[in-house]
Structure 1
Amino acid sequence: MSLQIAPLQKEKHAQTKINTASPFAFAQEQHILPVVVQEFVRIGAEMPIVFIKDAASDRFDVVAMLGLQTGENLMVADGKWQGFYVPKVLWNHPLILADDPGKEGQLLVALVESSPMVNTETGHPLFNEDGSESDFLKARVEIMREFFQQSQTTRIFNKALADLDLLVPQTLTIKLEGKPREITGIYIVDEKKLNSLSDEQLLDLNKRGMMPAIYAHLMSLQQVQRLGDRVNKAAAVAA
């Protein structure tokens, strides 16, 4: 089903409610999600954090792996999150920030109207009876604003690593049902290159607060097998 997205308007959406009974069902088939550096430590305790490269722009983005293949999300079942920490990008659906077609470079709050979470009967109202924004909407907008700002910081982080030539392609190998499987198409920080940086370069990264995120990323790679264990467990139950 194609997404139907519309700018949020109090006249049009006065009666709209968001049912959060199954808040993550929309992400059931997403095997990767964009993340921000501010959440690396918490995400890295449960999921691998890796970099992917846009072939058209050569830009690197950083994502959390939720599955081992396209269309597989091992962290969502029956619309519920199966881990402890929920990545920030998932918090606000079906509300999103979208480009304002009338104002270049500006963003506006939009609603994924085609989402099953959107209705007029049950859930959290977006607007109060007097037309003012509900506390639910205000809280979601603030979270989106914060996430956007942190995304800008994360882009700077990604570019800094790329400029230092620290990101290298990597093949990860895990065991699934006793057999090895290779995961390709990802990039990680090369520890040897990191350790060979000059004192000045390392000091700069440290002053910019980037070193903790780098180490959190490297430590998170140990979680790849944890995803594999989820696959193995599901296969054992099915058998």
Structure 2
Amino acid sequence: MSEIAVSHGVVNGAAQSAPSLPPLYRALEGLTAERHAALRLHDAGYGFAAGASAIPLAAEEFTVAARSLPIVFAATAPHMPVVITGLSAGTNLYVDAGGAWKAGAYVPAYLRRFPFFLLRVAPDSEELALCIDPSAPQVSETTGEPLFAEDGKPAPQLERAFAFTKSVEEAMLRTRTMTLRLAELGLLKSSVVQFEHHGKPLRVDGFFAVDRPALAALAPEQLAELRDRGWLEVIYAHLLSIGGMPELARSIQG
């Protein structure tokens, strides 16, 4: 990825259309001092994710996230991983009525990056623009730290946001490489989790997971590849995390 100056980031000069927006974002504008000099950023909690029952996750987060969040893979290619935060659409059991994240639970980098995002300035370009969702609750013109200094240069807050957003984007690209390889090896398959909840059977499906028999059947050189690329640890964290589904279900009624 090429480095960019955030003050030069423009995405077609306008907000992106709704169909192309990533999850949780309602609009994206390339940040410029001319257009966004008055913007400030403040902590508004995680209420913006209260309706998200699944949140994207990078492979590098698996070992920490697995301690408190079930991790699965999307059913559609390229089968990017997500953490399950609710067992029905529009529910997030990790966000309370005040917008606070569940104490002790891991907060995915995808949420910590919000409301920023990196987009290519054009479909065939390697140049990236730092964008912001101007409708996000964290964005204000009166409260919080300024994004730009008086001379129009990025303020420390914006420099930090760019560095973190870039690191998240790079991690997601590495994750995509991993999921494509896992699929190529035949490891990602449709999966179901079933358990008893309040005396009745509960079934959770619609996702992919690493298939244990397929993993065990890999050739030694393929297992060595997964080990050497750091993916075996990721796979085991994912498999162990699925065991947290019943605990997630118990939180539905407190």
**1:141 CA displacement:** 0.8
Determine which of 17, 29, 33 is the counterpart of 1:6: 29
What secondary structure is seen at the aligned counterpart in 2 of 1:129? coil
Task: Give the aligned partner of residue 212 of structure 2.
Answer: 191
Instruction: Give the alignment's TM-score, normalised by structure 1.
Output: 0.89
Which one-letter code corresponds to 2:102 in the other structure? Q
CA–CA distance in structure 2, aligned partners of residues 125 and 226 of structure 1: 41
The CA deviation string for residues 66-107 of structure 1, in whole angstroms up to 9 with x for no partner, is: 111111101111211114321000112112222324863432
Distance 1:99 1:223 in 2: 37
User: Is 1:62 the counterpart of 2:89 in the alignment?
Assistant: no
Higher strand share: 1
Measured after TM superposition, the shift of residue 204 of structure 1 is 1.4
Structure 2 residue corresponding to 1:211, chosen from 221, 232, 243: 232
Percentage identity across paired residues of the two chains: 30
8 Å CA contact 2:101, 2:107 repeated in 1: yes
What TM-score does the superposition give when structure 2 sets the normalisation length? Answer: 0.84
Q: How does 1:105-124 map to 2 (within 5 A)?
A: 105-124=126-145
CA drift of 1:222 comes to: 1.1
Shift in Å at residue 172 of structure 1?
A: 1.2
Pick from 57, 64, 73 the counterpart of residue 42 of structure 1. Answer: 64
Q: Distance in 2 between matches of 1:86 and 1:45?
A: 11
- Segments of structure 1 that go 5 or more residues without pairing to the other structure are 234-239
What letter is aligned with 1:215? Answer: Y
8 Å contact 2:75–2:190 — kept in the other structure?
no
Does residue 81 in structure 1 map to residue 98 in structure 2?
A: no
Contact 2:72 2:209 in 1 (8 A): yes
Aligned residue pair count: 229
Match of 2:74 in 1: 52
The separation in 2 between residues aligned to 1:151 and 1:4, in whole angstroms, is 21
Match in the other structure for 1:236: none
Runs of 4+ in 1 over 4 A off after TM superposition: none
- 1:62 to partner: Cα distance: 0.9
CA distance, structure 2, for counterparts of residue 193 and residue 5 of structure 1? 41
Query: CA RMSD, aligned part only?
Result: 1.8
1:96 is the counterpart of 2:112:
no
Q: Which moved more, 1:68-77 or 1:124-133?
A: 124-133
